[in-house]
Amino acid sequence: MLPDSVLLTDRSGPVPLYFQIATGIEQAIRSGDLPAGARLENEIALSERLGLSRPTIRRAIQELVDKGLIVRRRGIGTQVVHGSVTRQVELTSLWEDLERTGQHPTTTLLRREVIEADQRMVDALGVELGSPVLHLRRLRGADGVPVSILENYLPEDFTDLTEEQLRQHGLYQLLRMRGVTMRVARQRIGARRATPAESKLLEIDRNGPLLTMDRTAYDASGKAAEFGHHCYRPDLYSFEITLVGH
């Protein structure tokens, strides 16, 4: 429950009530009074406690959701998170990005299977048609909150990666353990609507927006080491690019 001091409002002043509430909660989150994982009261409880309308409370909560400070989770309610992850567009993994921002990454392995390479894998990885390829699909979380669905394809050299390894480590960490050094990648960033299955996994509104990234990464010898299609919750994740003029 939020401390009473967070929710004091000046009803006669010029500052909108929703903004006062959102600011008070934000200060409590940033100061640590409301730690990551803390749950907030629902809109009905807060509106009754404060004697304010539900639309006012809803707008205050939405302000914090838009800032990436809290998330709404189906079956759980409204919960504090560390904040959104801003990813420099560089050759790192999501696991490393989360650790760098002080968050605890988790992995739910949705699929691990060895398949035969189709034409798309031939074009992306430079493997032979029909050769063994490791297909992975994972749900990546940060402090228990789902952030991304990661789908990756790796050539035959890596088909022996185990489920336990994939749950305990990031993919690029595992490749480095095998002596692979990533040197360059070709990457495309986009956006689309979530499928019903993705909406459920990421705990977002049905058909909500997603950020997407397609990447083929190459090792020091110029050989493709992995191809991935990833989708991210835009309220918890963003890409940052530095542009230099000439």
Q: Percentage of the chain surpassing pLDDT 90?
A: 33
Alpha carbon of residue 111 to chain centroid: 18
Write out the two tokens for 149: 């669905």
176 neighbors 220 (Cβ within 8 angstroms): no
Of the two residues 170 and 103, the one the predictor is more confident about is 170
136 neighbors 151 (Cβ within 8 angstroms): yes
Mean pLDDT, residues 53-74 taken together: 81
The C-alpha atoms of residue 243 and residue 246 are separated, in whole angstroms, by 10
- Please name the amino acid found at residue 12: S
pLDDT, tens digit, 9 for 90 and up, residues 203-234: 888 889 999 999 898 888 888 999 999 999 88
Of the two residues 115 and 233, the one the predictor is more confident about is 115
Q: Residue 1, SS3?
A: coil
Q: What is the pLDDT at residue 38?
A: 80
21 neighbors 57 (Cβ within 8 angstroms): yes
Instruction: Render 34-71 in DSSP notation, one character per residue.
Output: S-TTPEEPPHHHHHHHHT--HHHHHHHHHHHHHTTSEE
Mean pLDDT, residues 132-143 taken together: 93
Q: What is the pLDDT at residue 172?
A: 87
The owner of tokens 């397609």 is: 214
Q: What is the pLDDT at residue 90?
A: 46
Write out the two tokens for 186: 């070709």
Average pLDDT, the chain: 83
